Chain A
Amino acid sequence: MTDVLNSLLVQDDRTRRRNAAEVRFHAYGLGAIGVAVLALVLLLTSVVSSGIGAFRQTYITLEIPLPEEKLDKSGRRDSAVMARVTTFGYAPLLRDALLATMAQKGLTTTLSDTDIAGIISKEAAATMRDHVLANPDLIGSTVTLDVLAEGRIDGYFKGRVTMESAELDGRTSPEALRIVQLLADVGVIETRFNWRFLTAPDASDQRPEAAGLGVAIFGSLYMMLVVLVLALPIGVATSIYLEEFAPRNRLSDLIEVNISNLAAVPSIVFGILGLAIFINFAGLRQSSPLVGGLVLTLMTLPTIIISTRAALKSVPPSIRDAALAVGASKMQSVFHHVLPPAAPGILTGTIIGLAQALGETAPLLLIGMVAFVRDYPAAFTAEAGLFGEAATALPVQVFNWTQRADPGFAERASGAIIMLLVFLLAMNTVAILLRRRFERRW
């Protein structure tokens, strides 16, 4: 068979070179994916390993007597009078309760009473005070409360604080750690899932153990709602008009170029714009999620418009012709035949825009959403007006916490990033589900 020229059983030079090139390209592709996956895994492990602790919290279970002579001298359960007892009035009760528990469990220590009080978070007294003021009937009885442990103690149970580091630490000591370990062994101290992290507002920079994402999540969801309600209809209507109805001329070209440029404008510029228009000119309140939502809407609009136009463009013109030829009007052809197949693309663009907005920090800093917000916004109160109260947002909260000195806040910041990722994941899942739904209906 050697006399066969051009045998198919033997690869000629060109084929061999071409195949080699394909193999090489394959390898490059796999390499690129490998690098991307590795980077993702590294990122996720580092964030999760340092942030997972924020979802667990150490609590001390105490039986606390609430003596009437200390908490309500008048004995009339008058809330105005009771409120005069500050957190300093409650702190000794907590300390005494802890001392009593230790005595009951037979634990002895060289620590001073003040150091033992330091095992309990400063936030605990405030929590207890709120609890008592809300339930005045409790006075005179003994309540069992789970109170927060101090940040260092919490860190010890999560492995952040060790005996060695406690040696050098002004706020705790190896002896304190020994005691809390013994308390944990008898079940007085327990580390469990931390709902407070998702619901509580931010706390002062001495109390990482009390800090939570509640207000930030509230603010972020609020802004997403504002963005969705404003940017989606405006963006889609603009795109449909520009793509399907607007005459092609200088003006529409100009608008098109400007929209593309807007998408590339740094987000902080939108912050300056928002500050000038919504706060200085329109007089809306600083730090309010409404202003945040408006600024993010401006930022998201170009993204939505561009992706919606791309989705509309990808619908073949023959479909429009088909609709017109059976006597449909321009609008019927667009709404019955062009929008449905474009819907998945529009949705994807919208979700990408929302996800961008959710993670945006810079413009929010400019409109004052970086403020320390201690309380939930009373969004619908009369004096603040609709949406008027201050709130913060997830990425801003991350930014805030990373600037604080206490290592407890580093853990909180990573925990907040995890929450941000969870929200993004949830949004993408919703997008995929909606896509499926729309695609099945063609």
Chain B
Amino acid sequence: MKDTNLAESVDTMVRQKILARNVSVHYGETYAIKDVSVDIVANAVTAFIGPSGCGKSTFLRCLNRMNDTIDTCRVTGDIRIDGEDIYDRKVDPVQLRAKVGMVFQKPNPFPKSIFDNVAYGPKIHGLARNKAEMDNIVEDALKKAALWNEVKDRLHTPGTGLSGGQQQRLCIARAIATAPEVLLMDEPCSALDPIATAQIEELIQELRQSYCVVIVTHSMQQAARISQKTAFFHMGSLVEFGETDRIFTTPADPRTESYITGRIG
């Protein structure tokens, strides 16, 4: 753990965006994650990796309180964004989610037109003053999500009529259209071909300049390519967290090593 500390001391200049301490999540009686503590920095990409069912999505959903919608779900611990406890009574989850956007593991476009899908967030948050501004926001978001060329001629056809990969990019466009400060992406490239994947990765690199991006991925190469920090989850616990380069070259925990070399998972 020595070099983690070293790395962190080098990074003292970077701003901590999200601070999670001893976060545990229970679904009813069974726990999904246990005592997870991570620091997520602004202007960087943090990747969550780990075998299926280890609690990556669950932890991600804690960060914008989407777990509130699950009756049986109970979250304990402390999560702070910009130093503010997001589970504080005074916090309105609606306001929080405008600040912390999310792309879900399964594409879930609204059963509305492509345009309306992207325009919905900006509309309810009043980000556009007129039609022209809205058009710009939508076009910009769709271009960033590498979808514009495919849909520019059919913006008013249903978003649910797109292919799986296109729907996923539509959801990405929808999430970035509201200009969140933090973007949570749950396997955003799982249904994409290499070209679209490359475009999304490019987008993530671009977003990193101004946002804080957290991405869950099952692709080690992707995590290595795009992230600055990597967290490895296993059976509901955070096994290892640190600089991506270090995790992939000299993992401290044997479980991390087995996972990234493909022996468990």
List residues of chain A with CB under 8 Å of any chain B CB: 248, 316, 318-329, 332, 336-337, 340-341, 442
Q: How far is the CB of B169 from chain A (nearest CB, A)?
A: 14
B66 within 8 A of A: yes
Q: Is the CB of B94 within 8 A of A321?
A: no
Q: Is the CB of A248 within 8 A of B113?
A: no
- Which residues of the partner chain B approach A324 to less than 8 Å between Cβ atoms? 66, 69, 93-94, 97
- One of A318, A319, A320, A327 near B97 (C-beta < 8 A): A327
Q: How far is the CB of A49 from chain B (nearest CB, A)?
A: 47
- Which residues of the partner chain B approach A326 to less than 8 Å between Cβ atoms? 97-98, 101, 120-121, 124, 174-175, 178
Q: Is the CB of B113 within 8 A of A321?
A: no
Q: Is the CB of B104 within 8 A of A327?
A: no
B265 within 8 A of A: no
B64 within 8 A of A: yes
Q: Is the CB of A327 within 8 A of B111?
A: no
Q: Is the CB of A327 within 8 A of B94?
A: yes
- One of A248, A322, A327, A329 near B110 (C-beta < 8 A): A322
Instruction: Name 5 extra pairs, CB < 8 A, besides A327-B97, A327-B178, A328-B94.
Output: A325-B175, A326-B120, A328-B120, A329-B94, A442-B111
Q: Is the CB of A328 within 8 A of B124?
A: yes
Give the CA-CA distance A326 to B97 in the complex, in Å. 6
- Which residues of the partner chain B approach A329 to less than 8 Å between Cβ atoms? 94
- One of B99, B104, B112 near A321 (C-beta < 8 A): B104
Q: Which of A248, A321, A327, A341 has the most CB of B within 10 A?
A: A327
Known contacts A248-B71, A326-B120; is A319 also within 8 Å of B66 by CB?
no
Give the CA-CA distance A386 to B124 in the complex, in Å. 43
Q: Is the CB of B109 within 8 A of A322?
A: yes
Q: How far is the CB of A283 from chain B (nearest CB, A)?
A: 46
- Which residues of the partner chain A approach B175 to less than 8 Å between Cβ atoms? 325-326
B171 within 8 A of A: yes
B interface residues, tally (CB under 8 Å): 30
B15 within 8 A of A: no
- Which residues of the partner chain A approach B104 to less than 8 Å between Cβ atoms? 318, 321-322, 325
Q: How far is the CB of B180 from chain A (nearest CB, A)?
A: 8
- One of A316, A325, A340, A341 near B66 (C-beta < 8 A): A325
- Which residues of the partner chain B approach A328 to less than 8 Å between Cβ atoms? 94, 120, 124
- Which residues of the partner chain B approach A442 to less than 8 Å between Cβ atoms? 111-113, 158, 160
Nearest first, the 4 A-B pairs at minimum CB distance are A327-B98, A318-B108, A326-B121, A325-B102
- Which residues of the partner chain A approach B30 to less than 8 Å between Cβ atoms? none
- Which residues of the partner chain B approach A316 to less than 8 Å between Cβ atoms? 108
- Which residues of the partner chain A approach B99 to less than 8 Å between Cβ atoms? 327
- Which residues of the partner chain B approach A327 to less than 8 Å between Cβ atoms? 94-95, 97-99, 121, 124-125, 178
- Which residues of the partner chain A approach B94 to less than 8 Å between Cβ atoms? 324, 327-329
List residues of chain B with CB under 8 Å of any chain A CB: 64, 66, 69, 71, 93-95, 97-99, 101-102, 104, 106, 108-113, 120-121, 124-125, 158, 160, 171, 174-175, 178
- Chain A at the B interface: SS class: helix
Give the CA-CA distance A319 to B108 in the complex, in Å. 6
Known contacts A326-B101, A329-B94; is A320 also within 8 Å of B69 by CB?
yes
Give the CA-CA distance A208 to B112 in the complex, in Å. 57
Task: Pull 6 A–B residue pairs with CB atoms less than 8 Å apart, ordered by A.
Answer: A324-B93, A324-B94, A325-B97, A327-B97, A327-B98, A337-B111
Q: Which of B69, B94, B106, B110 has the most CB of A within 10 A?
A: B110
Closest residue to B98 on the A side, CB-wise?
A327
Q: Is the CB of A336 within 8 A of B120?
A: yes
Give the CA-CA distance A316 to B111 in the complex, in Å. 10
Q: Is the CB of A322 within 8 A of B125?
A: no
- Which residues of the partner chain B approach A322 to less than 8 Å between Cβ atoms? 104, 108-110, 171, 174
Q: How far is the CB of A297 from chain B (nearest CB, A)?
A: 32
Q: How far is the CB of B88 from chain A (nearest CB, A)?
A: 18
Q: How far is the CB of A258 from chain B (nearest CB, A)?
A: 22
Closest residue to B116 on the A side, CB-wise?
A442
Q: Which of A320, A321, A325, A328 has the most CB of B within 10 A?
A: A325
Give the CA-CA distance A328 to B69 in the complex, in Å. 13
- Which residues of the partner chain B approach A248 to less than 8 Å between Cβ atoms? 71
Q: Which of A326, A329, A340, A341 has the most CB of B within 10 A?
A: A326
Q: How far is the CB of B116 from chain A (nearest CB, A)?
A: 9
Q: Is the CB of B178 within 8 A of A321?
A: no
- Which residues of the partner chain A approach B178 to less than 8 Å between Cβ atoms? 326-327
Q: How far is the CB of B223 from chain A (nearest CB, A)?
A: 23
- Which residues of the partner chain B approach A340 to less than 8 Å between Cβ atoms? 111-112
Closest residue to A341 on the B side, CB-wise?
B111
- Which residues of the partner chain A approach B108 to less than 8 Å between Cβ atoms? 316, 318-319, 321-322
- Which residues of the partner chain B approach A318 to less than 8 Å between Cβ atoms? 104, 106, 108
Give the CA-CA distance A318 to B102 in the complex, in Å. 12
Q: How far is the CB of B155 from chain A (nearest CB, A)?
A: 14
Give the CA-CA distance A341 to B109 in the complex, in Å. 13
- Which residues of the partner chain A approach B158 to less than 8 Å between Cβ atoms? 442
- Which residues of the partner chain A approach B120 to less than 8 Å between Cβ atoms? 323, 326, 328, 336
Known contacts A325-B104, A336-B120; is A319 also within 8 Å of B64 by CB?
no
